[in-house]
Structure 1
Amino acid sequence: MDLLIPAIAAIGGYLLGSIPFGLVLTRLGGLGDIREIGSGNIGATNVLRTGRKDLAAATLILDAGKAGIAAAIFGYVFDPTAGLIAGGFAFAGHCYPVWLGFKGGKGVATFVGTMLVVYWPLGLVVIGTWLAMAALFRISSLSALIAALAAPITAYAIGRSDVAIMAGLLTVLIYWLHRANIERILKGEEPRIGDKKKSEQTDKDGAETEEN
């Protein structure tokens, strides 16, 4: 019984997180398979490349919301630990959805949604850090990497070791999924926000820019 609740939270969270809203919405919108557009990613950034800002916004909200909903449901029905597990596995489901051959998004929006629900002040720290770094460096992926790293550090500093552990694990996965971005950042080749020409060239070369 002690392992049953965590197992249910993990499975339920994963299944909720693995719903590929970007793919579903673009198909419903008559735009075909989002995996054949731009970088091939299912996140909101790639959906935006279709020219449908409404679908991109909906994808962003739903990708963030599905992890938050998973954490909220299991945290309410069972306990906060179950909520943390569900939120974490929803993040994993978004990044590695079984329905799409385990090829999903990079998890930034889903990470934010998880943080907002498991401990909302921490979610605000992540959002604020992203906005500040984006204004300073104008590089979306770098802003996301710094914001993600701020989460476990902040959680640990304020005494929420449970959240810090979960956020730390998710941050490690975010850095792994952004390894190509990190390489380009170090080379000074990562597209900046608003630099459409460079971003389009990056996609042509087959490299993935920052995705959700």
Structure 2
Amino acid sequence: MPPSGDWSNVLPLMLGLCLVSFAIGYLLGSIPFGLILTRLAGHEDLRKIGSGNIGATNVLRTGSKGLAALTLLLDALKGTAAVMIGAQFGPYAATAAGLGAFLGHLFPVWLGFRGGKGVATYIGVALGLYWPAALAFCLVWLMVAAATRYSSLAALVASAATLGALALTSEWRIAALFLLLTVLLYARHAQNIGRLVKGEEARIGQSKQST
């Protein structure tokens, strides 16, 4: 830590690096891989298919499991890449980059701020910042999905469990970030939550699923 008299110089630099990292993260996160890949493959505009979401679940509705898997991977890796770039400027910059990537995926400027629901990017950011959190998310998701066949419910439970696990660690900076990310993820799944409550949510493999 710098002497107390040096903070006036250090803080603006830290803030600037965090802002730059956030911007880089946002630009990476806003790349709509699902839309790009389906267009390259000659499919209809993904936003006019199924739920209209740009994520992997909706890509699966094109009938291509390969494209869906690639979309899931790339949407996760853009979060991880953002964190790794931000980490070159310090831990706070890495956190800012992760937030930027998540917001970029949810609200991409190129698509009128109408993006995906953030599950894959959530995992990718966790992988970059604290890999056990990403592993915990995936394990919980798999267990809940296998038991209920609700993809949306699995994501909601897994994100809550991940946040709970992070709260028990000393990584308060990361826990605070994931509190915000989890709130945003729940907000993006508001319609799914409503259908789950009413018993109307489609299960994995059903055509009307919109996670």
How many residues end up aligned between the 2 structures? 199
Q: Is the 8 A contact 2:21 2:85 kept in 1?
A: no
**Which runs of structure 2 are paired with 1:71-150 in the superposition (5 Å)?**
71-75=83-87, 77-150=88-161
Q: Is 2:145 the partner of 1:157?
A: no
In the alignment, which of 68, 82, 94 is matched to residue 56 of structure 1?
Answer: 68
Q: Which amino acid aligns with 1:143?
A: A
Post-superposition Cα deviations, 1:139-163, rounded to whole Å, max 9, x if no partner, equal: 1100100111112211110221111
Which residue of 2 is the match for residue 188 of structure 1? Answer: 199
Q: Is the 8 A contact 2:30 2:110 kept in 1?
A: yes
Unaligned runs of 5+ in 2: 1-12
Q: Is the 8 A contact 2:126 2:134 kept in 1?
A: yes
In the alignment, which of 156, 172, 180 is matched to residue 169 of structure 1?
Answer: 180
Q: Is the 8 A contact 2:99 2:177 kept in 1?
A: yes
Q: Which amino acid aligns with 1:82?
A: A
Unaligned runs of 5+ in 1: 203-208
Which residue of 2 is the match for residue 16 of structure 1? Answer: 28
- How far the C-alpha of 1:36 sits from its partner, in A, is 1.2
Q: Percent identity?
A: 53
Q: Which amino acid aligns with 2:200?
A: E
- How far the C-alpha of 1:88 sits from its partner, in A, is 1.4
Q: Give the TM-score normalised by the residue count of structure 2.
A: 0.91
Secondary structure of residue in 2 paired with 1:7: helix
Q: Give the TM-score normalised by the residue count of structure 1.
A: 0.91
Q: Is the 8 A contact 1:45 1:56 kept in 2?
A: yes
- How far the C-alpha of 1:32 sits from its partner, in A, is 3.0
Distance (Å, rounded) in 1 between the aligned partners of 2:171 and 2:86: 19
- How far the C-alpha of 1:115 sits from its partner, in A, is 0.5
Post-superposition Cα deviations, 1:15-50, rounded to whole Å, max 9, x if no partner, equal: 000000011111111113111111111101111101
Secondary structure of residue in 1 paired with 2:68: helix
Distance (Å, rounded) in 2 between the aligned partners of 1:74 and 1:143: 29
Which residue of 2 is the match for residue 40 of structure 1? Answer: 52
RMSD: 1.1
In the alignment, which of 25, 31, 34 is matched to residue 37 of structure 2?
Answer: 25
* Runs of 4+ residues over 4 Å off in structure 1: none
Post-superposition Cα deviations, 1:45-103, rounded to whole Å, max 9, x if no partner, equal: 1111011111111111000000100001111x111221111011101100100000000
Which one has the largest radius of gyration? 2
Distance (Å, rounded) in 2 between the aligned partners of 1:85 and 1:150: 22
Distance (Å, rounded) in 2 between the aligned partners of 1:112 and 1:186: 25
Distance (Å, rounded) in 2 between the aligned partners of 1:188 and 1:39: 18
Distance (Å, rounded) in 1 between the aligned partners of 2:64 and 2:125: 26
